[in-house]
Amino acid sequence: MDNPKFFVTSIERGAYHDGPGLRTVVFFQGCPLHCAWCCNPETQPFRPVLLHEGKRCVACGNCVPHCPQQALSLREGRLHVDRAQCISCGRCVPVCPGGAYSLSSEIMSSEEILAVVMKDADYYRATGGGLTLSGGEPLCQRGVEVLLFQAKQANLTTCVETTAALSYKVLESVLPYVDYFYIDLKHSDRDILLRETGADLDLVTSNIGKLMDKGANVTLRTAVIPWYNDDLSTLRSIFHLALALGVTTYVLLPFHQLGRAKYAKLGRPYTLEHLKTLTPEDVSEAASLGRQMGLDVRIGG
């Protein structure tokens, strides 16, 4: 497998939040978890999904006869997508005059991905940047170790944003080719974590511990979510956990609703509308707490 293929949802160039320097972030389709605050919900399923943007739909009905699954219908002047029927074949995408449809991902080979990534090689050299894999869960992609290997061959620094909620074998297989791990530590309470995200805390922490033992460069990140983990006592226990694992680099990500529109495009309800968007100032107390406890805390964008 020297040119594996992936479902890539997007490639973001000139990114500056996801690892050192200027980076190109590649987002992959598929994640084992299901966090309600996910800002890229289209990446959660392991297969491409159809997005339909109501704002661009003029309800002309053009698309309806093109669907082999009869998943599309016009009802009371609005287009309806029957998600249960849709098989993401994409036939409706090119026939919509408004450009309302898109499939969440397209297939790209590692060669194609790297061709895009390498366009910014000069910027990586100047800023210490490189390639970041994100998602979804990039480490759930078959062949991701090949992509990372090839990236290292091309002299790129590599960063992986992972849930670490997967078998250590996978982490081990990419370990030689990853310069920076950005791992989400979403909660310190086993039950809450499992209920809200589907992640197994023991698996996550044992993976982090093993990576630390191997000398990996690990940064832990916590998305600070108002009803879920934003109280200082929860954050304190999360920080304790980090310290116990031997990690000192920490990033807090204030909650935002930027991904909300995507839920509508997927025909999924967004359940966190009532929550307040947090500013960097809102999490500054938490950051100082972490610093007092001995962590090197940064507030991320």
Partner 1 sequence: MPKFSVETPQNVAVSIKIPPEMSPMDQLELMERYTATHRAYEGKSREEREIACLRILYPALFRSIEPDDLFAGRLDFLPIGFGCVTSVGGVGHYCVFNKLTAFKDLLPSDEHERVDALYDYWLEHDLKTKYCRQALKDDVVGMFIDVEYPLIVTARLSGMMLNYHMLMDLGISGIRERIHEQQEKLGDNDFYRASLASLELFSSCCDHLADKVRSDMEGATPKRREELLRMESALLRIRNDRPETFVEALQLFWLYALLAGVINYGRMDDVLGPFLARDLRTGHLTESEAFSLLQSLWTMIENRRTTVNGRIIVGGRGRLDPESADIFTRIAMDVAHSCRYVEPQFTLRFDRETPDDIIDAALDAIGSGATYPTLYNDDVHIPAVMRAMRVDEKTAEQYVPFGCGEFVIQGQSVGTPNICINLLKILQIALNDGIDPMDGIDKSDGVSLLPAEEIDSFDVLFSQYKRLLDHYFDLSIESQLLSYDVMNQEVSFLFTSILMDDCVERGKAVLDGGIRYLGGTVETYGNINVSDSLAAIKKVVFEDQRVTLSALRDAVNRDFDGDMLLRRHLWEAPKYGNDNDEADTMANEVFEFVANGIRDRGINAGMTYFLIVISNNQLNTEWGRRTAASYDGRRKGQFMNPANNPQGGANTSGPTAMLNSLTRFDAGLHGGSLQNIKFTPDFFNGHRDLVKKMFRVYFDRGGCQLMVTIVNRGELEKAVKNPDTYRDLLVRVSGFSAVFVNLETDIQEELMSRVLYG
Residue ranges that bind partner 1, judged by CB under 8 A:
12-18, 21-22, 25, 39-40, 62, 94-99, 119-120, 122-123, 125-127, 134, 161, 221, 251, 253, 256-261, 277, 279, 300-301
Q: Select the binding partner of residue 260 from ligand SF4, partner 1, none (C-beta < 5 to 8 A, by kind).
A: partner 1
Cα→Cα distances 84→33, 70, 139, Å: 21, 11, 28
Q: Is 131 in the site for ligand SF4 (CB under 6 A)?
A: no
Choice between 76 and 273, CB closer to ligand SF4: 76
Which residues have a Cβ under 8 Å from the Cβ of 181 and sit 6 or more positions away? Answer: 159, 160, 162, 164, 211, 216, 217, 218, 219
Choice between 73 and 292, CB closer to ligand SF4: 73
Cα→Cα distances 242→155, 183, 198, 266, Å: 31, 11, 20, 35
Which residues have a Cβ under 8 Å from the Cβ of 250 and sit 6 or more positions away? Answer: 219, 220, 221, 222, 239, 242, 290, 295, 296, 297, 298
Choice between 57 and 192, CB closer to ligand SF4: 57
Q: Select the binding partner of residue 261 from ligand SF4, partner 1, none (C-beta < 5 to 8 A, by kind).
A: partner 1
CA dihedral defined by 157, 12, 269, 276, rounded to 10 degrees?
80
* Options 86-94, 134-142, 242-250, 273-281: segment touching ligand SF4 (CB under 6 A): 86-94
Choice between 22 and 146, CB closer to partner 1: 22
Choice between 99 and 246, CB closer to partner 1: 99
CA dihedral defined by 138, 139, 143, 149, rounded to 10 degrees?
90
Q: Is 69 in the site for ligand SF4 (CB under 6 A)?
A: yes
Q: Is 203 in the site for ligand SF4 (CB under 6 A)?
A: no
Task: Please identify which residue in the block is written with the tokens 């509308």.
Answer: 273
Q: Is 244 in the site for ligand SF4 (CB under 6 A)?
A: no
The residue within the footprint of ligand SF4, chosen from 8, 26, 38, 100 (CB under 6 A), is 100
Report which of 8, 49, 5 is spatially closest to residue 28, judged by C-alpha positions: 8
Choice between 88 and 173, CB closer to ligand SF4: 88
Interstrand relation of 23-28 and 5-15 (parallel, antiparallel or unpaired): antiparallel
Judge whether 117 and 26 are in contact, CB under 8 Å. Answer: yes
The residue within the footprint of ligand SF4, chosen from 33, 86, 121, 175 (CB under 6 A), is 86
Question: Which contiguous run of DSSP H or E holds residue 219?
Answer: strand 218-224
Q: Is 264 in the site for ligand SF4 (CB under 6 A)?
A: no
Residues that bind ligand SF4 (CB under 6 A): 50, 57-63, 66-67, 69, 71-72, 79, 81, 86-92, 96, 98, 100-101
